[in-house]
Structure 1
């Protein structure tokens, strides 16, 4: 009779990791940008729970001792991961998710070979099921990371803590001279205009400085209407003074905050389009930054989930192309 010790060991490890995977999927549901992504993550969590049940059944069939500790350990691991990752930017959290999926995939592949050697066809079929599921998740996470790298609106949004952490990381790498020059240009523009500066100028300078360092999502959430007004004023003054650099810095910051007009969108006549028309029109958009503008505009105006999903789907296609995955 073949020795099944190695099979049981791997099944136990897979059970714990799958429990962790399920809980992480549930954590990610709250970070989904669109309803479609939210449903997908909910399905992922449900399917992970089904895989856990199947793994546990195979353990019992092989004579493995019933284990009530492993599932609890898996849930605890997910809780610890979810808590610790709040101290870092979202890309690090997603890389952690990807690492987990690679480990699950590698163990499932190993399990398949072990099952072949042990002549356990049921375990082999389970391993093939796991390989298929984890291969798909690895691909999905790779695309989400590519979306993040392209600078577009990723399928998963960072939590407030991750927004701050990501912004801090970017600002820490900001070339000081570039930031100083941008601030100086903004101050010069306002001073030459002879307009009253005071607290408004301080706000404008602060906003432009943040833009120079890739404006963080944390700032984007905390900026109020007064700051938007100040940005519009800074842009207007810079244009009057002929300072195109400062004007564009203020305008870009304003756009990132969602303060856009229909004329600034890369798709003409966007406001009058149906969701189906938008889905067709975005196929001609090739720049992730433009897709980001469209999503921010949609989210701050009509906020149609179907339109956001259509734009997000286009970004995912660009991300797949960037990492060499066939659509």
Structure 2
């Protein structure tokens, strides 16, 4: 009975690992930095090696070669990758985490079965699987913590996920707010009645048009209009709306260099900027710099340094280290 159960668990692990391979490949396109992209490619290759190991162990135990499970795994990954595009990126990552926990727990069960049957090769394979999936669970937990902190996380949202998650980028339109930020800003400003003439403009969400200044705001371009909107809100005494707009500006990389927490940022070399980023202790400050860097110079060494620093802060919050 134990022998048959082991074969059943190996079959399930084979199918789930095939899904893991495909998901890792999907995530490569979302990598924020070259280092993360390389890590994800290695994850996919390691998962493929685990697939081969599981297959060999199945054959050693007398299990019939299964050509269906790998196909099911690939289909499952395709379905997951398709449907998650309608979800925020955090929901997609939570789905990845569920998969890794299932792989880890099945490997743990397999190890117990192997120990009971004195199948040392199977036990050793299960131990390697446990180690691999434990590391991936930790990595995904870190990425989710980074996402909770507002970025920069190791993975970018796809365009559809960005909208679903309430984050948009400026493309083709002079003003584009993150959807949730705009809705909150509009709600706060509209409470002041005659301070707002209208609050609708084309975009994924809505952007505020502040009284008689609206036409001037829209004509000066996205960055200038966002800055002007913040100034108008502050002048009218609506601090909450101004802060919401400021946060949207930070997410879009629309802050000016003088608003960054690192003095004389635009004149720093890549190495100097990377060193300065590593000294930041505030998540908000780190986010401002990384979004500005990506929107302007996009120096890979600086982005990687920021992502590494952000991961460290996220791990502290998640209790990983």
Using the size of structure 1 for normalisation, the TM-score is: 0.82
Question: For 1:172 and 1:155, how far apart are their aligned partners in 2?
Answer: 22
- Distance in 2 (CA, whole Å) between partners of 1:177 and 1:283 is 32
Name structure 1 gaps, 5 residues minimum.
192-198, 210-222
> 1:175-233: per-residue Cα shift (whole Å, max 9, x none)?
98874232455962x78xxxxxxx9x855994249xxxxxxxxxxxxx99733332233
Report whether the alignment pairs 1:273 with 2:268.
Answer: yes
Contact 2:233 2:239 in 1 (8 A): yes
Partner of 2:86: 87
Look up the match of 2:188: 181
SS of the aligned residue for 2:221 comes to: helix
Shift of 1:82: 0.9
- Check 1:120–1:267 CA distance in 2 against 1; reply closer, same or farther (3 A cut): same
* Contact 2:185–2:241 under 8 Å retained in 1: no
SS at the partner of 1:4?
A: helix
RMSD in angstroms over aligned alpha carbons?
3.1
Label 1:208 to 1:318 Cα distance change in 2 as closer, same or farther (>3 A). Answer: farther
Paired residues of 2:22 and 2:74 also in contact (CA < 8 A): yes
Match of 1:325 in 2: 320
Where does residue 3 of structure 2 map in the other structure? 4
Query: How many Å apart are 1:263 and its aligned residue?
Result: 1.1
TM-score norm. by structure 2 comes to 0.83
- Whether the 8 Å contact between 2:260 and 2:289 is mirrored in structure 1 is yes
Match of 1:108 in 2: 107
Distance 1:103 1:225, change over 3 A: farther
Check the 8 A contact 1:86/1:162 in 2, yes or no: yes
**Count of residue correspondences:** 301
TM-superposed CA distance for 1:271, in Å, is 2.5
Q: Is the 8 A contact 2:278 2:305 kept in 1?
A: no
* Cα distance in 2 for residues equivalent to 1:147 and 1:207: 27
Alignment of 1:156-175 (within 5 A): 156-167=155-166
Q: Where in structure 2 are the equivalents of 1:257-268 lying within 5 Å?
A: 257-268=252-263
Cα distance in 2 for partners of 1:139, 1:243 equals: 42
Q: Which deviates further from its counterpart, 39-48 or 269-278?
A: 269-278
Residue of structure 1 in register with 2:46 after alignment: 47
CA offsets, 1:27-72, max 9 Å, x none?
1111111111111111100100000000000001111111111110
Q: How does 1:131-146 map to 2 (within 5 A)?
A: 131-146=130-145
User: Which range is displaced more, 121-130 or 284-293?
Assistant: 284-293
Q: Render the CA deviation track for 1:264-307: whole Å, top value 9, x for unaligned.
A: 11111323333443333223322222211111111122111111
Judged with a 3 Å threshold, the aligned counterparts in structure 2 of structure 1 residues 23 and 206 are, in CA distance, closer, same or farther, namely closer
1:293 to 266, 274, 288: 288
Q: Are residues 94 and 5 of structure 1, via their aligned partners in 2, closer, same or farther at CA, if it must alter by over 3 Å?
A: same
| Greater helix share, structure number | 1
